[in-house]
Amino acid sequence: MTSRRNFIKQAGMATAGLLASQMPLNAFAAEDDKRFRQLREAIAAHANFLKIPGLIAAVVEDGQVRFVQTEGFADADKKIPMRRDHIFPVASVTKTFAAVTLMQYEQEGRVSMDDYILDYPFLPVGFTPERLQSPNVKIKHVLSHTSEGEPGSNYIYNGGRYNFIYGVFEAMSGNTRHYEAFSGEVTKRILQPLKMNDTLPGYPSDKNNPALSRIVTTYFRDRKHQSFNANRNLPDQTILYPSTNLLTTADDLAKYCHALDNNILLTAESYRKLTSPFAASDGRTYPYGLGWATQQVDGRPVHWHYGYGDSFAALLIRLPREKLSFILLCNSTPASEAFFLGYGNVLNSVFAQAFFKHIVFRRDDQFSYDALINKQVTGTDTLFYDEVFSQALMRYYTEQNYNEHKSEAAKLIHYLAVNAPARFQKTDLSLIYLLSQIADPGLKEQMETAIAAYADSNYFHPHIHERIAGWYERTGNSQAARDWYHKLADSKGYEEQGAVKSACNILGKYYLAQGEKEKGRNYLWRETLYNRYTDSGIEEASRQLTVMKSR
């Protein structure tokens, strides 16, 4: 398999020509030309740093594609350079289409976001029925990722649960044919009206479909052999689910953004409802609305979503007030995998940082790790520190996956500890996760501060509880670790979460070793039951029963 560096080298001339041909006929103003050049340089640098086989990036302003950038190959084995018209799977960006369609139903008075899921056919689309832990889950809880625990109380991004709403599309369309309802509704209500002719509701099963030649080859990252291997199973993903499997192009997503900006698909009030931060039952708000992540960046409303498939990634960022959007489509996972975007902060992404820095805020500088560490450059505003943190995430990813840039992430976190100590006093899931992974003794005080802020927030996120428990274990505080494992294992309504099942396993084995057999067996039994909630856990449940018998 060709290396990422050779991808760019071999595609260089072709890519340069493509970029020139893809610019608008009218020349940019000098300032625009400058900021798009800076964006191009940043994206190319990040793609090379993360060794992404190929990508497309675009900037859309009031419906016009102002900038397109292609990097690398659509098929690295065949040396096919990336083109503007290549088609990508976009994973969870599909969720925004599901939410828009459901909101159209509400506009028509046919559905309410307050309807219970069980008011509609409950179809096990890619999940076992046991995953629905409460009869009181509503459509809005699924769309806002607050359907676990007490419905409406706690945000945990959990993409697969979006398929709970499939029955709504079947009921509204009357189409009960095998998994066709959602695809048909999205096609009728969004794709056809907007002439999104290059958008596919699932991988085409028709081998004569002319779009097949434009679908990119996507790549798994092989950590052991330090290579990218083509995903030959992508053609099997023929069904469009509410959670995933849409394929599209940058230009078609530009049409989608334009329609949302101009209330073509939804009224202004419906769009506001879709993109307002979800308010939990205790009044807290979360960084997600109904089908869209939502946050403020320097006072600007930002609505966005990311896609993270098994061999591809996508990012769609929209600033509705400015009618400005950024699109990123990649044929491997690092652009999403590295940045913990499910925790709800788009600024974790270096690609998002490049867009905001050069296009939205019109700043000129490019990030320099060496200059920062050698104290040749500094910054004092929050956006600068956000960029430093995104760089730390990227460098930690490359350290873990490519054995490169060792210790650079830790050094950047030390920089933040000295220059932005207030950052550690806020609830920041990504920061806790990274601190737990780095496990630098010199950052122990900062980790304890971050844990205290998280605990005070009463936020419950299984992954973060697990990271905290593991960190206490590694630092020798076994009692604190068990306390956090207990919070996980004893939680209600989160049984499908791997962190909860893992905590049950750890506590079960601990209590058995302590001679508290009944207590230990109870935790292991819980793990066994919880594994049966997901198809992937049934085999593990059988193994755990064997462990219990041996005790």
d(CA 1, CA 227): 6
Identify the pLDDT of residue 534.
Answer: 67
For 90, the 3-state DSSP assignment is coil
Tokens 């925004």 found at = 96
d(CA 187, CA 198): 12
280-295 confidence digits (pLDDT tens): 888 899 999 999 999 9
List b or e across 299-326, with b for residues whose CB sees 16 or more CB atoms inside 10 angstroms: eebbbbbbbbbebbbbbbbbbbeebbbb
d(CA 67, CA 260): 20
Question: What are the φ and ψ backbone dihedral angles of 316, each rounded to 5 degrees?
Answer: -125, 115
Does 543 have pLDDT greater than 50? no
Antiparallel, parallel or unpaired: β 300-308 and 293-297: antiparallel
pLDDT band at 29 (very low <50, low <70, confident <90, very high): low
Of 136, 129, 140, 148, the C-alpha closest to 462 is 148
> How much is the average pLDDT of 142-168?
95
Identify the pLDDT of residue 378.
Answer: 79
Identify the pLDDT of residue 6.
Answer: 42
Residue 403, in any domain of the structure: yes
**pTM greater than the 0.85 cutoff:** yes
d(CA 288, CA 279): 9
Q: Give 317's contacts (C-beta < 8 A, 6+ positions apart).
A: 302, 303, 304, 325, 326, 327, 346, 352, 355
d(CA 369, CA 409): 10
Secondary element (H or E) of residue 318: strand 313-319
Identify the pLDDT of residue 535.
Answer: 53
Does 10 have pLDDT greater than 60? no
Point out which residues pair with 80 in neighbouring strands. 75
d(CA 89, CA 84): 15
187-226 confidence digits (pLDDT tens): 999 999 999 999 999 999 999 999 999 999 999 988 877 8
Identify the pLDDT of residue 192.
Answer: 99
d(CA 231, CA 28): 39
For position 400, which CATH number holds? 1.25.40
pLDDT band at 28 (very low <50, low <70, confident <90, very high): very low
Task: Tell me the average pLDDT of the chain.
Answer: 91
Write the Ramachandran bin of 162: left for phi over 0, alpha for psi from -120 to 50, otherwise beta: alpha
Instruction: Specify whether 322 is located in the same domain as 377.
Output: no
415-426 confidence digits (pLDDT tens): 999 999 999 999
Largest CA distance in the chain: 78
d(CA 463, CA 40): 35
Instruction: Specify whether 128 is located in the same domain as 258.
Output: yes
Of 331, 395, 400, 338, the C-alpha closest to 4 is 331
Residue that wins the pLDDT comparison between 544 and 152? 152
Of 188, 145, 150, the C-alpha closest to 165 is 145
Instruction: Specify whether 491 is located in the same domain as 394.
Output: yes
Residue 97, in any domain of the structure: yes
pLDDT band at 382 (very low <50, low <70, confident <90, very high): very high
Residue 47, in any domain of the structure: no
Instruction: Specify whether 389 is located in the same domain as 265.
Output: no
Identify the pLDDT of residue 128.
Answer: 74
pLDDT band at 545 (very low <50, low <70, confident <90, very high): very low
Residue 65, in any domain of the structure: no
Q: Give 470's contacts (C-beta < 8 A, 6+ positions apart).
A: 436, 481
List b or e across 168-181, with b for residues whose CB sees 16 or more CB atoms inside 10 angstroms: bbbbbbebeeebbb
Least confident of 114-123, 383-392, 437-446, 534-543: 534-543
Q: Is the dihedral of CA 422, 396, 460, 547 positive or negative?
A: negative
* Helices and strands: H and E segment counts in the chain: 20, 12
d(CA 205, CA 238): 6
| Number of separate domains in the chain | 2
d(CA 502, CA 421): 33
Instruction: Specify whether 377 is located in the same domain as 488.
Output: yes
For position 324, which CATH number holds? 3.40.710.10
Structure token digits, residue 74:
């659509």
Do 216 and 53 contact (CB within 8 A), yes or no?
no
Instruction: Specify whether 386 is located in the same domain as 509.
Output: yes
Instruction: Specify whether 335 is located in the same domain as 373.
Output: no
> How much is the average pLDDT of 500-523?
97
Least confident of 13-17, 144-148, 184-188, 513-517: 13-17
Identify the pLDDT of residue 531.
Answer: 87
Instruction: Specify whether 493 is located in the same domain as 344.
Output: no
Residue 180: which domain range?
A: 90-348
- Residue 108 CB coordination number (10 Å): 9
For 217, the 3-state DSSP assignment is coil
Residue 49, in any domain of the structure: no
Q: Give 359's contacts (C-beta < 8 A, 6+ positions apart).
A: 35, 36, 39, 59, 324, 326
Instruction: Specify whether 305 is located in the same domain as 421.
Output: no
478-489 and 498-513 are packed helices; what angle lies between their axes, rounded to 10 degrees? 130
pLDDT band at 334 (very low <50, low <70, confident <90, very high): very high
Least confident of 116-125, 352-361, 362-371, 540-549: 540-549
Question: What are the φ and ψ backbone dihedral angles of 312, each rounded to 5 degrees?
Answer: -160, 165
d(CA 369, CA 478): 37
Order of all β-strands in the sheet with 54-61: 80-81, 64-75, 54-61, 324-330, 313-319, 300-308, 293-297
Instruction: Specify whether 452 is located in the same domain as 538.
Output: yes
Q: Which residue among 348, 375, 391 closes a domain?
A: 348
Residue 356, in any domain of the structure: no
35-79 confidence digits (pLDDT tens): 999 999 999 999 999 999 999 999 999 999 999 999 999 999 999
Q: Which residue among 348, 381, 412 closes a domain?
A: 348
Residue 443, in any domain of the structure: yes
464-481 confidence digits (pLDDT tens): 999 999 999 999 999 999
Instruction: Specify whether 328 is located in the same domain as 410.
Output: no
Instruction: Specify whether 421 is located in the same domain as 294.
Output: no
Q: Which residue among 287, 321, 348 closes a domain?
A: 348
Least confident of 5-9, 230-234, 302-306: 5-9
Least confident of 19-28, 36-45, 96-105, 155-164: 19-28
Least confident of 6-10, 61-65, 225-229, 300-304: 6-10
Question: What are the φ and ψ backbone dihedral angles of 96, each rounded to 5 degrees?
Answer: -65, -35
Quick one: DSSP state of residue 256? H
Percent of the chain with pLDDT over 90: 83
Residue 484, in any domain of the structure: yes
Question: What are the φ and ψ backbone dihedral angles of 329, each rounded to 5 degrees?
Answer: -125, 130
Does 14 have pLDDT greater than 50? no
